[in-house]
Structure 1
Amino acid sequence: MHKPSPVSYEDFKDKFSLEVPEGYNFAFDFLDAEAAKDPTRPAMVHIDPEGKRRDYDLAFFSRESAKLANALVAQGLKRGDRVMVILYRRVEFWVTMLALHKIGAVPIPSPNLLTAKDIEQRINYAKVRAVVCEYTLTERVEQARPKCPTLQILVQVAGDKLPAGWVGYNAILQKAGDSYPAPKGKDKPGGDDPLLIFFTSGTTGMPKMAEHTHAYALGHYVTGVYWHDLGPSDLHLTLADTGWGKAVWGKFYGQWMAGATVFTWDFRGKFEPEHLLRLMAEHKVTSFCAPPTVYRFLIRLDLSQFDLSALRHCTTAGELLNDGVFHEWKRMTGLPIYEGYGQTETTLQLLTLPCMTPKPGSIGRPAPGWDLRLLKEDGSPCAPGEEGEICIAVEPKRPVGLFTGYLDEPAKTAAVIYDGFYHTGDKAWMDEDGYFWFLGRTDDLIKSSGYRIGPFEVESALITHPGVVEAAVTGVPDPVRGQAVKATVVLAKGYDPSDELTHEIQEHVKKVTAPYKYPRVIEYVDELPKTISGKIKRAEIRERDEKKG
């Protein structure tokens, strides 16, 4: 696919189009095809937990995924079977995903933080038939296994001991042939067949299963080629763990389609920003994507101690980027940070391109192929400056990368896809230049004295105070205002709760954002309730406050 170089956002929107070939399958139609043309093309630089670097080319992934596909078929895995994959940032994650794409089985990438109870619930909910997991996680699957009647095939990666009923990844691979050609005609998985399933983060209840078809992989072409601005000379690092959708956003489909090499750091345990910077400097990372929280860690360090001269492009998503972080990172590196926005249910919906002037805190403008509208509660469109729900037109044509629906939950699917739109549940407003500004989930907005206040705005102001490590903003009942803004705050070391500190934080917020948004109530806690993916459970805080009365 030819990459036009847009000179402006309007030029990009006018010229770019994405057509999905009939029966498209990334593993066959991109990976195997490209590996046949250029087998030694670099695909990945991998740093293992001990710090050892290994380089892999396209031929490696093509060959190893073919072998694993043969091995799994020999174990009885079939097209359409659902497979839970829990593999940290191991190379085996990519091999496994590609092998399942070739078979037509449906991977469910899963985080390594799942408990045995979580695993049991998800296996039974999704009717999972197989698990591929690292040896350090086998015990949790074993604890869940007696209560999981659909689970039949168990593959352990690495480790010396295999529980009864398990097979070793390397052992089955050694016995398998290294050729797995694409089946012909209808026997070839692809197109509208399911590609993968993500469990949503579950901030307001049990996670739902969002299903994507094989077109989803191609939907990330824009992510890698344009938002990450990648080409064949680039080494790209997205920090996400493989248990989450952001991993395939940033270290898989789009980056390889751009011709770039994926940089993967398989770190375990606590994130160390100094270690990250050392690796970026040593290995000459050229493109970097991380949530704003990571950038906040990085700007606290002396970046002049690290040679980041190879770094040329930076992106972020997942949270609101604070103005101060944007400007400080640019001062220290000379590089702006380009924001984007999407969901588990979508690919990249909104983006800031290199040809655009980034506005700190804005999530950008609609990606090509995505007809986005801001709609009021009555379904009417919002004028610039008015707040509304981000909605995606699904008629006359669904955008490439939009999920098919929530599996086995037609009522929940119907609650978000209706009247020709997918209703994201996210609130935003648009400025006169067409840039979108995220406010928060519809359920999280606070209505106070006639104002509608988004929690992200206040949280973004709070964390610029040196004493605030994390903050969650919610509304609490107020007899005069309807709702008052409340901040639940985790303090930094060296800070203790006091009336003086509360007043200081409140005054700080008044200076950073509109004064009416300041938290009239501040509660100090040791930690915030979060989902496994790290998203704040504001609903849980609200429920706890309601019980207090």
Structure 2
Amino acid sequence: MNLVDVLRAGADAGGWLDRPAYEVDGAALTHADVYDGAGRVAGALVASGVRTGDRVALVLDDGPDFVLAFLGAAHAGAVAVPINPRLHPDELRQVLHAARPALVVGKPDFTAAGFRVTTFADLDGASPIPAAPRAADDQVYATFTSGTTGVPRLVPQLHGDPIVHHRSFAAAALELGPDDVVHSVSKMYFAYGLSNSLFFPLMSGSRVVLNPEAPVVDDVLAIVDKYEVTALFAVPTFYSRLIAHPGSDRLARLRVAATGGEVLAPALEERLVDVLGDRLLNGIGTTEVGQAFTHNTRTARRFNTAGRALPPFEVRVVDDEGAPVEPDVTGRLQVRGPTITLGVAEDGTVRRADGWYATGDLASIDADGYVRVTGRLDDVENVGGIKVHPLEVEHLLSSHPLVREAAVCAVSNRDDSVQLRAYVVRADGPLEDDHLADELTTLARRHLTAYKVPRKVVFVPSLPRTGSGKLRRHVVRTWKP
């Protein structure tokens, strides 16, 4: 089975081959156009020397070129590797060397020393070829982890995996269908955005509105309004900017507002629910799993949780020794399921998780199976020999109406003592505000044990985030007092 053949057969059976699949900048592709174009690109790739199993790196923005190049690589039996075209040149070199592609598809004038480079225009005029025969356990694409720790890893997925993710998440939890219009703030060079904008809509018969530019609140709201978007995907911090905008009333037409990628703070969730109501659905996933493995749904949702496990995935929480804990006890979150990939072995084969996989999250699971994530294991700060989970402090500070977001980390003083420092992005007003700093310190003292209270509040214009919106805490930890 080649995934592209499966997608086309599903579109044919569903009766949506002639319906719009993608719109961007006034241009449109039907579902049939997508598969016809993928066949042409596949013909050009094979003619250029790309062989079955070779990696094809896509350094492209969201758009028809990306869609056809990705599916063309899969059609040809190659492994598509989406890469963020906005990476710093040093980071781009790093991920290209990690990917070791046989061919790089980039925008016009793109170069990459040491690699064979082409453009999409050079791939779109060939004669189509039949899809290369592949098995469900053959590689079809590979994405890089978001790099929150500073070192992205390449994680492959197999031809059968997107089918599992669609049945588990898009169909069962989100109920995507042919009447939906989808827009994902997360781009297709991330695992989350790739499923949201490519696999799920093609398997559901939905229409996708793509934006090749970096996401801006005004642009997203304009897209929601102009195209009557029904399903929106974004990380919590982007939703916080959307609802703070005077035009946020346009979100009322959404059927579902899905969010993930980082922990949704309770105070932010309250503000989002005030605007979005029960359309807001939160969940968690990882690049290693390939998509969400827990999620709230329209029929089963609970405030301040990431929902319940999505079958066939299972979750549990264990203690430091690996023993399962009782309900509502915080420990290490683990997931088990058929698509969990750890990386690639030296011989090029995929390393699948054997049994339970540790996500790196701290979480608890209540008696009804709802998962509450409280932070990351590598986020823990050490203050005077006491472990502090900064997310608890950050969520409290972010509950203040004048705070948009906050990051808390430990800093060493000249006498080698360690204290917590809060870096705060204001919702509005001047960058420096001693009165607000005092209010935030008082708020922390009122609700937290003394060692968790930041000794200093520093206002910053923004926090460093990955392209998918996750906080780059390792960068914040390098900031000097």
TM-score, normalised by the number of residues in structure 1: 0.78
* 2:21–2:205 Cα contact (<8 Å) kept: no
Q: Tell me if 1:47 matches 2:10.
A: no
Residue matched to 2:131: 182
* 1:326–1:336 Cα contact (<8 Å) kept: no
Deviations 1:440-489 (A, max 9, x none): 221212466897543333223323334434322223579xxx97543223
In 2, Cα distance between equivalents of 1:234 and 1:535: 27
Relative to structure 1, the CA distance from residue 340 to residue 355 in structure 2 (aligned partners, 3 Å threshold; closer, same or farther) is same
Deviation at 1:424, TM superposition (A): 1.4
Deviation at 1:392, TM superposition (A): 2.2
Deviates more, 1:469-478 or 1:367-376: 469-478
Counterparts of 1:378-457 in structure 2, within 5 Å, are: 378-393=321-336, 399-408=337-346, 420-446=355-381, 453-457=388-392
One-letter amino acid matched to 1:377: D
In 2, Cα distance between equivalents of 1:327 and 1:534: 20
In 2, Cα distance between equivalents of 1:392 and 1:352: 16
Deviation at 1:155, TM superposition (A): 1.8
Relative to structure 1, the CA distance from residue 475 to residue 102 in structure 2 (aligned partners, 3 Å threshold; closer, same or farther) is same
SS in 1 for 2:341: coil
In 2, Cα distance between equivalents of 1:325 and 1:303: 18
Deviations 1:173-221 (A, max 9, x none): 22x223x3234xxxx1231111111122222242221121112211221
In 2, Cα distance between equivalents of 1:470 and 1:533: 16
Residue matched to 1:25: 2
In 2, Cα distance between equivalents of 1:297 and 1:477: 33
Deviation at 1:43, TM superposition (A): 4.5
Counterparts of 1:101-112 in structure 2, within 5 Å, are: 101-112=74-85
Q: Tell me if 1:289 matches 2:227.
A: no
The counterpart of 2:160, out of the listed 205, 209, 215, is: 215
Residue matched to 1:199: 144
One-letter amino acid matched to 1:403: T
Relative to structure 1, the CA distance from residue 369 to residue 453 in structure 2 (aligned partners, 3 Å threshold; closer, same or farther) is farther
In 2, Cα distance between equivalents of 1:190 and 1:499: 62
Q: Tell me if 1:63 matches 2:45.
A: no
Deviation at 1:32, TM superposition (A): 4.7
Deviates more, 1:58-67 or 1:502-511: 502-511
The counterpart of 1:322, out of the listed 265, 290, 293, is: 265
One-letter amino acid matched to 1:421: W
* 1:35–1:41 Cα contact (<8 Å) kept: no
* 2:82–2:143 Cα contact (<8 Å) kept: yes
Deviations 1:88-128 (A, max 9, x none): 11111111111111111111111121232222222222222
Deviations 1:473-528 (A, max 9, x none): 223579xxx975432234455334354332211233456x6566443333344544
Residue matched to 1:371: 314
Residue matched to 1:97: 70
One-letter amino acid matched to 1:405: G
The counterpart of 2:472, out of the listed 517, 521, 537, is: 537
Residue matched to 1:156: 119
* 1:374–1:381 Cα contact (<8 Å) kept: yes
* 1:211–1:407 Cα contact (<8 Å) kept: no
In 2, Cα distance between equivalents of 1:443 and 1:70: 45
Deviates more, 1:105-114 or 1:437-446: 437-446
Counterparts of 1:231-250 in structure 2, within 5 Å, are: 231-250=177-196
In 2, Cα distance between equivalents of 1:110 and 1:83: 10
Deviation at 1:224, TM superposition (A): 1.4
In 1, Cα distance between equivalents of 2:428 and 2:385: 37
In 1, Cα distance between equivalents of 2:379 and 2:342: 26
Aligned-residue Cα RMSD (Å) equals 3.0
One-letter amino acid matched to 2:159: H
The counterpart of 1:76, out of the listed 49, 60, 66, is: 49
One-letter amino acid matched to 2:172: Y
SS in 1 for 2:373: strand
Deviation at 1:67, TM superposition (A): 0.6
Residue matched to 1:357: 301
In 2, Cα distance between equivalents of 1:529 and 1:32: 43
In 2, Cα distance between equivalents of 1:206 and 1:409: 22
In 1, Cα distance between equivalents of 2:454 and 2:385: 16
Deviation at 1:438, TM superposition (A): 1.1
Relative to structure 1, the CA distance from residue 327 to residue 498 in structure 2 (aligned partners, 3 Å threshold; closer, same or farther) is closer
Residue matched to 1:501: 436
SS in 2 for 1:132: strand
What's the % identity of the aligned pairs?
27
SS in 2 for 1:252: helix
In 2, Cα distance between equivalents of 1:207 and 1:343: 13
Relative to structure 1, the CA distance from residue 191 to residue 534 in structure 2 (aligned partners, 3 Å threshold; closer, same or farther) is same
Relative to structure 1, the CA distance from residue 486 to residue 172 in structure 2 (aligned partners, 3 Å threshold; closer, same or farther) is closer
SS in 1 for 2:441: helix
One-letter amino acid matched to 1:211: P
In 2, Cα distance between equivalents of 1:332 and 1:466: 16
Q: Tell me if 1:521 matches 2:456.
A: yes
Deviation at 1:351, TM superposition (A): 0.8
Relative to structure 1, the CA distance from residue 71 to residue 296 in structure 2 (aligned partners, 3 Å threshold; closer, same or farther) is same
Unaligned runs of 5+ residues in structure 2 are none
SS in 1 for 2:422: strand
Relative to structure 1, the CA distance from residue 195 to residue 508 in structure 2 (aligned partners, 3 Å threshold; closer, same or farther) is same
SS in 1 for 2:92: helix
Deviations 1:20-54 (A, max 9, x none): xxxx4320122255347736442424132xxx2x3
One-letter amino acid matched to 1:98: L
One-letter amino acid matched to 1:109: P
* 1:32–1:62 Cα contact (<8 Å) kept: no
One-letter amino acid matched to 1:507: T
SS in 1 for 2:86: coil
SS in 2 for 1:111: coil
One-letter amino acid matched to 2:38: S
Residue matched to 1:173: 124
* 1:299–1:325 Cα contact (<8 Å) kept: no
Deviations 1:410-457 (A, max 9, x none): 9xx79xx57x42111111112233211112221212466897543333
In 1, Cα distance between equivalents of 2:135 and 2:332: 33
The counterpart of 2:197, out of the listed 244, 251, 256, is: 251
In 2, Cα distance between equivalents of 1:392 and 1:334: 29
Relative to structure 1, the CA distance from residue 524 to residue 462 in structure 2 (aligned partners, 3 Å threshold; closer, same or farther) is same
SS in 1 for 2:423: strand
